[in-house]
Amino acid sequence: MKNTKIKPSNTLILILAFVLAVIASFSDAEAGDNNRDKISSANNYAVDKSDFTLPFHLIDGYIFIDGQVNNKKGKFMFDTATPFAFLVNNHFAPLAKDVFLAEGHAASGQPLVLYTQKRAVSVNLTEQIKLGKLKSLPHTNFDFIEKWVLQDFLGMTGHAFNKDYLFIINFDNQTIDFHSFKQDDKTLSAYINKESLIATLPFTAKDDGRKPEIDLLIGNEKMTGVFDTGNRSGLIITEEMKNRLEKAGNLRVEKKAYLYGMNEPYLSCTLRNLTFNNQPLEDIHNVDLKIGEANELWLGYQFLKHYVSAWDYKNKTITLMKR
């Protein structure tokens, strides 16, 4: 069975920790020389359609889109925080290790090295989007993800692809609608259902513009909210903040034994009374809680599933609409 999960689903969080660590090293001068520039400038990821819809699979709160790399069919994780258009799993879709880019370790300890292949690579998203021959795609060995999470794991599709579109995520239909920014603003605005509009959230973005951040309130406490489809929703707070939120009745913490159908004990929490500019937002349940030195709320599946969300990196807004 293709989608059999063998190990805890938190493995994907470990992947993303690796990606962020490697990107940091990739920014250093000694890590790959000018190879980052080669990746960003090597390809035009535009397709020959102004509007298209990609259906997706929802697996443990993560979005996966059917795809193909050369002759290998599988699934890409749709991760808005991944900087590359595509980060390929070279164990499932073999590619040549022609050019070294960077190396790092996943949070679980696996050594991972990024390479590119000199020869162009053919990439499809579902059967309808054929991106042709792409050059200098980064790839690494995610064999442990195949073993633990998803046996036909192709890799990730990320910011360098989706930034050129207004894209609208609908978890009920399990679809993402893409609308090219080559269209005029009036045409694009028509894709936002004004009758279903709840809030438009202007954001700032760090890390090459790929991580939308907003300032919100939980009760009377200020919190940084970070949007990321590669995160099911997580809360990192100081012990002091935890105590204040609990005392105000806006945070309930409980130990749980099962996570997305697996025996994986973790600390879960529920957040109440979230607002943005006086606009009430939905309570968030089943949020992974960690005590740390900062106060950040990662707004992933457990938040986004309450809405139809329109992501606009051009105008730096995320619009929330009724389901």
E-assigned strands of 70-134?
72-78, 86-89, 99-105, 111-116, 121-125, 129-134
pLDDT for the residue numbered 263: 74
Q: Which parts of the chain sit beneath pLDDT 50?
A: 1-9, 27-33
Q: What is the pLDDT of residue 242?
A: 97
Q: What whole-number distance in Å separates Cα of residue 323 and Cα of residue 306? A: 7
Token pair belonging to 73: 């069919």
Q: What is the pTM of this model?
A: 0.90
**3-class DSSP state for residue 232?**
coil
* pLDDT score recorded for residue 134: 92
The architecture (CATH level 2) of 193-321 comes to: Beta Barrel (2.40)
Query: In CATH terms, are 11-175 and 193-321 the same topology?
Result: yes
Q: What is the pLDDT of residue 33?
A: 45
- At residue 180's C-alpha, the angle toward residues 204 and 226, to 5°, is 25
In DSSP terms, 312 is beta-bridged to: 166, 317
Task: Report pLDDT digits (tens) over 19-67.
Answer: 555 555 554 434 444 555 556 556 778 788 999 999 999 998 999 999 9
The answer to whether the beta carbons of residues 214 and 237 sit under 8 Å apart is: no
pLDDT of residue 21: 54
Closest C-alpha among 225, 271, 278 to residue 249: 271
**Among 9, 152, 6, 24, which Cα is nearest to 88's?**
152
Measured in whole angstroms, the distance separating CA 31 from the mean position of its chain's CA atoms is 24
CA–CA–CA angle 65, 290, 75 (5° rounding): 10
Instruction: Give the per-residue pLDDT at 12.
Output: 58
Residue pair 201/257 in contact (Cβ under 8 Å)? The answer is no
Query: What integer pLDDT is reported at residue 146 of this predicted model?
Result: 86
SS3 content of the chain, % helix, strand, coil (to 5): 15, 45, 40
Burial of 139: CB neighbours in 10 Å, binned 0-12, 13-18, 19+? buried
The domains of the chain are located at 11-175, 193-321
What integer pLDDT is reported at residue 30 of this predicted model?
42
SS3 22: helix
Q: Mapping DSSP to helix (H, G, I), strand (E, B) and coil, where does residue 62 land?
A: strand
Q: Which CATH architecture has domain 11-175?
A: Beta Barrel (2.40)
